[in-house]
Amino acid sequence: MPRNSNVFLSGKKNTNPHVLVKSGSNSCGIKLPIEVIKIKSTIMQLIIIPFMSKNWKVLEENLVFFDNIKSRLASIIARNKCADLEIYQDIIIAFETAVFLHMEIANLEERLYGCNTNLSTLVFRTTMIRLKPELELYNLVFGRPNLKSGEKYNTDIVNDITLLLKMDNATFDQIKNYLLNKY
C-alpha cells in the first residue's frame, strides 16, 4: 500500500511546504498558462542567456524580436491579469538599453581607433535611430542597400521577413537560413 504523506490520521490533507514544485508551476504551485511559459522561455533564450554569456552579436541580431516580444507580453498580461509578468516588460527595456549602449560604444571605438584619419573630431551623443524590425533584419542578412547608387529594399524579401517575424519562437538563424535559401 503506498504511503500518502499529505494526509493526517484525521483524514485532513496537509500541504507540505517542503515539496518541490511541479514543472510549469510558479512558486506557489499554481499551474501557469502555456503562453506564459512560452514567453518566459523566449525571453530567456533570446535575451537573458546571450546577455549573461556576453554574446553581443547574438543580442544585436535578436534586437529585431524585442518589439514582438513586448507586444506579446502586453497582450498576455492583459488577458491573464498577471502582475508578475510586468517585471519582464521592464527587463526587456533594460536589456534593450544595454544593447544600444554597447552598440554606441562599439561604433565610437571603431571611429576613434579603427581608422587612420584625424582623431580630432567632434562626437555628439544622440539616441540611436531604429528602423522597422524587418528592415533591420534585412540589413543584417543582406546588407544595407546603397541608396546613393539607386539600390532599394527588395519588397518581396521585406514582406517575407514581416511574415517570419510573426512566427512564435523564430530565431535569427532560422530566418537567415530561410531567406538565404530562398533568395
Encode pLDDT of 86-117 as tens digits.
899 999 999 999 999 998 888 888 887 775 55
Distance between CA 117 and CA 33 in Å, rounded? 57
| Closest by Cα among 28, 50, 41, 95 to 73 | 41
Strand, helix or coil for residue 17:
coil
Distance between CA 22 and CA 24 in Å, rounded? 6
- Ordered by start, the domain boundaries in the chain are 31-126, 131-178
Say if residue 38's pLDDT is above 70: yes
H runs (alpha helix) in 63-154: 66-80, 86-113, 133-142
**DSSP classification of residue 64:** G
Encode pLDDT of 15-33 as tens digits.
655 554 444 445 455 677 8
Average pLDDT, integer, range 38-45: 92
